[in-house]
Amino acid sequence: ITQSASQCNDKVGDGTTTCSILTAKVIEEVSKAKAAGADIVCIKEGVLKAKEAVLEALMSMKREILSEEEIAQVATISAN
């Protein structure tokens, strides 16, 4: 979880809490699937497919921030 949060911080500079929560949940669900007898290769393939689906969904939601005003709005929200 620490490695995941660190990589998130290195790549985007934010989101470590969200990344940690998501990583912990994935680990929990993979552990449950393994305990139930699921094949680890199938689990890995499922996780990779889910990752691609999430990335695709996020890419469809993104929008470019172009103006100084928009940058200021994002900074204000991020700073809370």
pLDDT of residue 74: 87
Q: Average pLDDT for consecutive 10-residue bins of the chain (80 residues)?
A: 89 87 95 96 96 96 93 87
Whether residue 43 contacts residue 34, with contact meaning beta carbons closer than 8 Å, is answered with yes
What tokens were used for 4?
A: 């995941």
The CA R_g of the chain, rounded to the nearest whole Å, is 17
pLDDT of residue 58: 93
Q: pTM of the predicted model, to two decimals? A: 0.69
